[in-house]
Amino acid sequence: MLDTEPDLSTFFDFDFSDGAIAAVSGGSDSTALLLLIKDHLDRTAPTARLLAVTIDHDLRPGSAAEAEAVARLCAEHGIAHRTLIWSGSKPSSGLPAAAREARYRLLAETARAEGMGLILTGHTADDQAETVLMRQARERGARERGAREGATRSEGTSDDGRGLAGMAPATLYNWRTWIVRPLLGMRRAALREMLRRRGIGWIEDPTNLDIRFERPTIRAALKADDGEARFAELITKAGQAAAEREEIGRRAAILIDAYADKPAQGLIRLDRDFAADEDGEAAIYALRILLATVGGAAFLADEARARLLFGRLRSGSLRATLSRTMVDARRAGIFLYREGRNLPSAAPAMDNQFWDGRRRITLSDSPDWLVIAPLGQAAAKRSLTEGGERAQEGAPPALLRAALAAEPVLWRGGERLDFAGDDAAAQGAAVLPAVAPFARFLPAFDLPPAAAVAALIGAPPLPAPPFHRHDRRGAWAKA
């Protein structure tokens, strides 16, 4: 049930021991969030650090003055404040998405510099309903386009409903910083009423009324005569979809733990019994996650195509490609590795770069003399010949060669450093596996399968959840 009045109990599970950043635009939602956090910390953790950050996207006149207004409000309430400007050229299309990415990047960079692992945003139940309605419209539009173009579901019109869960109460950004949304159970109207009672105003962003953008159009639709009924329906749908997504993710994690292993870097093996498991839906979900991870894809493999592939795996041997991943099913197992096409060219290694979507590069001192490139077939063959023991690790030599050929190698001048940065660590560099579909944004809904894949491929473990109480799988849970 949604709260009709702001309730500080939503903050009690958060771990503020390292402080927190509050993202404050000056609108009603983020202003209310800031004051609620300040009240809570004053009562329960007066020494905890709180930093309000305003992102000036520099997209319209008056944005700087709005940031200054937030700074004045913070000064009045004894809250540290900082304004960050999204500088540089702006894209001519996809501006809202680009602005959102820049906003989270700037917030996360500040959190890292300040030693804080927690960012709080003011998303409300109204935002949640709008998000679900937008995703419904996109899925419907995709199906209609597919029908007009004569596409079948097997040709890529995925319709798995994951997005209908809406925004998660917590999301891990860049595998490092938690973004939490404590107001998802509150209505915007209740927050504004609280601000009125306190005599505090807020800024009305004119872009929220600009119907050239998707969200304002959706927001207007929810203000129609049947808006409240639609709102309740959308929130109910989000809750159901979230519960379903968490449940199938939990089951997929169990299957990954039970059936998957890594014979060599870049090569995943699934036991043949994986395709025969009675929990076919969870197995398909696990397969989609693994395909995206091995191929370095930012999104899960298409649900319809993965379903067809899974059916073929149950029938016997095959070779197929999906999400840039080669699938080679034979008696020894079901092997997954990055296909050899469209691999990145040799290029300078850059700090915090995602190489091919599969590896995160970390440079301690940003050396400009490191180059990263795929190993290549010839070098992979020589490597296996020189270290013959590799061919005894449970996979056919041809598959080991193909998998290793697509793996990244760092070069210093004409000297090749070891696979995945083992030797490079001494040179101030590391190239670590990444769980591709969750490497940038990992919603709390998906923690169990993400953790299972991370353990499988040797990615860094997930940081501790931002809540005081969590279950043994590391998923957030309320008391």
pLDDT at 378 over 50: yes
Place 363 in a pLDDT band, splitting at 50, 70 and 90. confident
Dihedral angle at the C-alpha atoms of 389, 392, 398, 400, nearest 10 degrees?
Answer: -70
pLDDT, the chain, mean = 86
Q: What is the predicted pLDDT for the residue at 88?
A: 82
Chain center to CA of 151: 29
- Please say whether the beta carbons of 200 and 194 come within 8 A: no
Place 286 in a pLDDT band, splitting at 50, 70 and 90. very high
Q: What is the predicted pLDDT for the residue at 389?
A: 44
Question: Higher confidence at residue 194 or residue 14?
Answer: 194
CA distance linking residue 122 with residue 52, whole number of Å: 12
pLDDT at 469 over 80: no
Q: What is the predicted pLDDT for the residue at 315?
A: 86
330-355 residue pLDDT tens: 999 999 999 999 999 999 888 888 99
What does 385-407 look like in DSSP terms, one character per residue?
HHTGGGGGSSS-HHHHHHHHHTS
pLDDT at 391 over 70: no
> In terms of pTM, does the model score above 0.75?
yes
Place of tokens 């709005």: 66
Question: Higher confidence at residue 479 or residue 287?
Answer: 287
What percentage of the chain carries pLDDT values higher than 90?
A: 62
CA distance linking residue 229 with residue 221, whole number of Å: 12
Residue 422 tokens read as 């083992």
User: Phi then psi for 59, rounded to 5 degrees?
Assistant: -110, -15
Cβ-Cβ contacts under 8 Å for 175 (sequence gap 6 or more): 360, 434, 435, 438, 439, 442, 459, 460, 462, 463
What type of residue is 273? D
CA distance linking residue 137 with residue 143, whole number of Å: 10
154-210 residue pLDDT tens: 333 445 789 999 999 999 999 999 999 999 999 999 999 999 999 999 998 766 555
Place 473 in a pLDDT band, splitting at 50, 70 and 90. very low
CA distance linking residue 349 with residue 366, whole number of Å: 9
Question: Higher confidence at residue 93 or residue 250?
Answer: 250
- Please say whether the beta carbons of 370 and 424 come within 8 A: yes
Q: What is the predicted pLDDT for the residue at 474?
A: 38
- Please say whether the beta carbons of 292 and 357 come within 8 A: no
113-145 residue pLDDT tens: 999 989 999 999 999 999 998 888 777 766 655
Q: Are strands 333-338 and 325-330 parallel, antiparallel or unpaired?
A: antiparallel
Chain center to CA of 104: 12
Cβ-Cβ contacts under 8 Å for 119 (sequence gap 6 or more): 20, 21, 22, 23, 107, 108, 111, 173, 177, 178, 179, 180
CA distance linking residue 11 with residue 6, whole number of Å: 11
Place 392 in a pLDDT band, splitting at 50, 70 and 90. very low
58-96 residue pLDDT tens: 888 889 999 999 999 999 999 999 999 998 888 888 887
Q: How far is CA 226 from CA 130, 230, 362, in A?
A: 14, 6, 51
Question: Any idea where the domains of the chain sit in the sequence?
Answer: 8-123+167-223, 245-340+443-457, 347-433
Across 259-292, b (16+ Cβ under 10 Å) vs e yields bbebbbbbbbbbebebbebeeeebbbbbbbbbbb
**DSSP summary character for residue 3:** B
Residue 232 tokens read as 């309740």
Place 428 in a pLDDT band, splitting at 50, 70 and 90. confident
Judged by average pLDDT, the poorest of 86-90, 301-305, 356-360, 437-441 is 86-90
Closest among 168, 163, 30, 23 to 102, alpha carbons compared: 23
β-sheet bridge partners, residue 335: 269, 328
Place of tokens 């034979």: 330
Which whole number is the average pLDDT over 239-268?
A: 97
Residue 409, H or E segment: strand 408-412
Query: Which CATH fold topology does 8-123+167-223 show?
Result: Rossmann fold (3.40.50)
Q: What is the predicted pLDDT for the residue at 137?
A: 78
Dihedral angle at the C-alpha atoms of 102, 105, 110, 115, nearest 10 degrees?
Answer: 170
Q: Residues in the chain, how many?
A: 479
Q: What is the predicted pLDDT for the residue at 183?
A: 94
Q: What is the predicted pLDDT for the residue at 6?
A: 61
Judged by average pLDDT, the poorest of 90-104, 158-172, 264-278, 382-396 is 382-396
Judged by average pLDDT, the poorest of 8-12, 186-190, 296-300, 469-473 is 469-473
Place 310 in a pLDDT band, splitting at 50, 70 and 90. very high
Q: What is the predicted pLDDT for the residue at 430?
A: 85
What does 96-120 look like in DSSP terms, one character per residue?
HHHHHHHHHHHHHHHHHHHT--EEE
